[in-house]
Each structure stands twice: as structure tokens, then as C-alpha cells.
Structure 1
Amino acid sequence: MSDPVYDLAADAALAAELAEEAGRILLDVRVSGRFEGKAMGAEGDHVANAYLVEALMAQRPDDGLLSEERKCDGSRLDKSRVWIVDPLDGTREYGEGRDDWAVHVALAVKGVATVGAVALPGLGLTLRSDRPQPLPPLNAPLRMLVSRSRPAAEAVAVAQTLGADLVPMGSAGAKAMAVVRGEADIYLHSGGQYEWDNCAPAAVALAYGLHCVRLDGQPLVYNRDDPYLPDLLICRAEVADAVTQAMASL
């Protein structure tokens, strides 16, 4: 029996619609004046997750679902289509009133990040896998994204080898989309992530023609029993070999 055919265009539109609406909900929480700091982050996580889970269960009831803010019952493991969401990526930045936080909505099909939308509500932007745009020229010198609080030693070393400038930024989604938008050229992460941290960003980045792999060169695989996915590289294809060689020299 052949696999069923799904309307991925409709899935992409749904991902963008849900990411944008969750972003609006999060902005409403932030301007309500009822919460501050960590309490704001906790409330934002809660309400955005409730919205996304309810919407996906209603509109794609036959698909699996993995969310950072929802206990997994294991049923997704038997599904070939699994929605992977992070209702609020960059809780700290959100609570601090910064713009470098995101909402991730992705669909993995047979373990591949196939559809994705990353909303950057603080910037009024949503990047979608179904609407890729031409990439701008490389930066000169190259620009490498690192964590605001704990830059990975590997990233710092690779940046030194390549003569790249370090660019501190908040959430994983914001960093990945900075490469998509041409604000940076390399996002190398080795400090530990989960599938919800990078599935939607990877789907968008792949659609834009970026190089997206694990640090050992293996593909990113989703909907595994253990959702821990500790490292990744998202970079311009033009510099992928140079980054790989720099990593090998460490």
C-alpha cells in the first residue's frame, strides 16, 4: 500500500497561521501589565502552548504532537507526521522585553523537518518554509551567532579560525532566522537542545537553501523516542566546508 498524499501547502499555511497567532497572544500577555520577568515567561509559555495544542489537535487530529510544554504520552512515535512546537523559544528574552525570541511550529514527516514557520513577534516577522526568499551576499567578515550568556567553546574557536565576528543573540529560533535573513552567516550550537528548539528553524533554513546538519555531519532526525538533540550547524552553503574543516581542527 502506498503512503497517503498530504497537502503540505495547507500544512505550511497552518504552521504560519498558528505561529503568528501564538505570537500575538504572547505580545498581549507582555503588554497586559499583569506579569513581569519569570512570571511573564511562565504565563506566556502556558497560554501559547494551550492555544497551539488545542488548534493542532482540532485541525490535525490524526497527526502526532510534540511540544516543549506538554507531557509526551509516546503516541507520536507511531505516527509518520508529527507536529513539533515550541510555544515560546527564548523565555528569558521574552520576559526581559527583548525582541530575540520566537514561536516555532513545525511538521516532521518520517523524521525530516518538512514544514516550518518561525514567528519573531517582537520584529513583526514570520519566516516560512513555503515562502523562501533569495539570500543576500555573505557578510564580510563572516558573522557567527552565539548565546548571549554562554557562548559555546567550539563556536568561539571556529570563529577565531575563520576570522568571523561573534554576534550574541537570544533564542535558537532568533539565531537561526538571523542566518536566514542574512544578518549572520553561521549558527553553530553545541550546548544542548531538544527537537522543539530547532525543528521549525531547520525546516525554514533548509527551504532557504542553507546547510543544516549535526556537528558530526549527520542529518537532523526528528520524532525520536528521546527528543534531546544537543547540537547543530546552520550556515550558508558557501562556508559549510570551511566550517567543517575548522571543526575538524579543534
Structure 2
Amino acid sequence: MNTTISSRTTTPQLGFDFPSGLAHSAGINKSGSKSISDLDLTNPTGIEAGEALSRMIVDDRVLHMGMTTWRALLDRAISLGHTELYPSDGSQVGLRTPGLRFGPIQRMPDLGPQYVIQSIFRNRLDSRLKAEEQVKSGRVLVQGTTKVELIVQQETITLCLFLGRKPVGAFELDLATLAASCLNDGASQAAASLATKLAMAFPDEDNLLITRSVQAAFDQVLKALGIGGLK
């Protein structure tokens, strides 16, 4: 009787059909400021920054996240203390720990800086408000002796109007709308909405001047929360 056992395997081979679409459309995050391929990282649809970034795939090789989304990668970097935006590779923007020369992300999508500032702003604002600290701007000149001041709450901002030292009006704004307007350099539907609301609330004031003053006051709020630099 032949008792020889054949070495040839008879086990069926399993086939895995991995989708290749992600790999072709993903950017690559690795050391080196020119590491991301020149794919379209803009936001032509105009949707909210966080939502747009959650649809953009990136292969992260620095924080070892592997294939993920830009939103998840930026959230992870921020949680690790990388909170400073800096110019890198010409017109590109990177993210690093304050005080360091480089960071784990040396080039990000166009909406990356806006999302980073929005995230850090919300985190630090929540911490201040939970500690029952007041968050507000200084009084910013509009024209003549007219000034504006912003007082920030959890979901709203109170815009106070002064004539000299005398308060002459107050108007409540949605925090998300004001933040979206000011963090997007005024080029958004939120900015147009803000300008319209200010014109209706303060019809006797120069709309352009008061809008610019409100944006300057919001910049002071950002600095009060330790957020400055690129926007």
C-alpha cells in the first residue's frame, strides 16, 4: 500500500478583491514638504470645511494612521498638541507644535487651516467657559467715536455698540456664522449673511466699516484664546 502523502496542497485559495479607487485618489502625508501629489485638494462644492475634509482620503505615514481622512488626521494632530499653522513649500500651509520648526503635516488641503482654527477655537472656548472665564474682545473703533465689542457665549456672540463710553446698542449673533465668516477671509455665504445682519441691526452705521471692525474684534478673541498667525 502506498502511504506517501502528497506535498501538493489541495486547500482552495481565497481571493481578495481590494478596491483600488482609494489608493488612486489619496494624498500621501510623509516627511518632506513636497510629499503630497498634486491632486485637487480644493473645495469646489463650497460645503462646510469639516465635511469636505471627511471626504478627502490621505495615506498618513507620519502619525501612523495609514489610510484615513484628512479630517481624522488633523483631529489626531491637534489632539497631540500640533496647533500652530506655518508657511511651508511656497504657498502651502503646515501644522506643527508651537516652537518647533516642522510638524507632522507639512502640506494640507486648502480647507485645512480653516478647519484647524475652528477646531482649536471651539476646544479652547469650551475650556474657558467651563472655567467660568469671560471671553471677549477689546473695543474696536468703527469710525469717529463709535466702537464695537464682542462677548462670546457657548453658541452666540453678543455684539455691543458704543458711542464713546456709552453703550448704544447690542445685537446677538450666531457664533458658528460669525466664526465661519471671519475664518474664511470674508469669501463665503456666511460673510455675506453677516454683513446683511449687521446692516439691518445698525442701519445708521457704515456697513463695510462695521463689518471690518467686527472681524477685527473677532481676531482679538482668537488671540485671547491663544490662536494667531495664519488663517
Please state which structure has a larger fraction of its residues in helix. Answer: 1
Establish whether TM, by shorter chain, passes 0.5: no
